[in-house]
Amino acid sequence: GENVEQHPSTLSVQEGDSAVIKCTYSDSASNYFPWYKQELGKRPQLIIDIRSNVGEKKDQRIAVTLNKTAKHFSLHITETQPEDSAVYFCASFSGSARQLTFGSGTQLTVLP
Amino acid sequence: GAGVSQSPSNKVTEKGKDVELRCDPISGHTALYWYRQRLGQGLEFLIYFQGNSAPDKSGLPSDRFSAERTGESVSTLTIQRTQQEDSAVYLCASSLGGVEETQYFGPGTRLLVL
């Protein structure tokens, strides 16, 4: 089945700096890649997603890039703020398994 | 409109007892999913319902776990003869239809097995 690896597991940045989280996937048929933000004790919330027919998508300070050839996608957060501190999960929809497989998560801490 | 809701929000039970967890998806969402999230871990897929199709049970960890869904509404996840390793947050999500559609999560049920 699909395997999603996410790095780094923890990331600390200074407020105002950029943060980048990377994920790789194994199923070449995967075609949908959402990113979720989960604050402590809260439910995961979708922050951005990308489908396989585009290489980049941006929403204000958040962007996601996808490289289908290399089977990796990344989340970029610019001008980070303390409220960006949370656990971020990438996910990949596998066309063969027909499941959304999640990465192991990245704990992002934005230091004021 | 209302989001995905789950009940109870917290459940403490004794080892060996059965528990039932409930999920109310967003109205009109035909797809419903259950995940397990252990402390500090990622989301582990359990089961997926899509309309009237047979559910995808490939993620259920043992035969102590089962789930039902009534039509395109409420779902219940049942864990029989609970074990301490079942302690986790159980998250439900729903989407309009088809696994590739955006999934919206409920607040989860925190299960503690003593």
Residue range A20-44, pLDDT digits in tens:
999 999 998 898 999 999 999 899 9
With residue A73 as reference, give the H or E element that holds it: strand A72-77
CB atoms within 10 A of CB B18: 11
Residue among A100, A92, A76 nearest A5 (CA)? A92
What value does the CA radius of gyration of chain B take, rounded to a whole number of Å? 13
> Contact B31/B101 with Cβ under 8 angstroms?
yes
Scanning B55-74 for CB atoms below 8 A from A yields 56, 58-59
Please report, rounded to a whole number, the percentage of residues in chain A having pLDDT higher than 70.
Answer: 96
Q: Is the CB of B91 inside 8 Å of chain A's CB atoms?
A: yes
Residue among A21, A53, A37 nearest A85 (CA)? A37
What value does the CA radius of gyration of chain A take, rounded to a whole number of Å? 13
Backbone angles phi, psi at A83, to 5 degrees: -70, -5
Q: Is the CB of A52 inside 8 Å of chain B's CB atoms?
A: no
Identify all chain B residues contacting A34, using CB atoms and an 8 Å cutoff.
102-103
Read off the pLDDT of residues B45-97 as tens digits, 9 standing for 90 and up.
999 998 888 899 989 999 999 999 988 889 999 999 999 999 999 999 998 87
B37–chain A nearest CA distance, Å? 10
B105–chain A nearest CA distance, Å? 6
B15–chain A nearest CA distance, Å? 24
Chain A CA closest to residue B57 = A99
> Contact B93/B107 with Cβ under 8 angstroms?
no
A2, A43, A64, A94: best mutation site toward chain B, by most B Cβ within 10 Å? A43
In the prediction, which pLDDT does B51 show? 84
pLDDT band (50, 70, 90) for residue B99: low
Which residue in the set B56, B102, B104 is minimally distant from A98, CB to CB? B56
Q: Which residue has the tokens 């700096």?
A: A17
Inspect the interface and report whether the beta carbons of A45 and B105 lie closer than 8 Å.
yes
Q: C-alpha angle A20/A23/A27, rounded to 5°?
A: 160
Identify all chain B residues contacting A42, using CB atoms and an 8 Å cutoff.
107
- How many beta-carbon pairs under 8 angstroms link A with B? 46
In the prediction, which pLDDT does B63 show? 96
Q: Quick one: average pLDDT of A68-82? A: 96
* DSSP strand pairing (B109-113 vs B10-13): parallel
Q: Quick one: average pLDDT of A4-14? A: 97
Identify all chain B residues contacting A64, using CB atoms and an 8 Å cutoff.
none
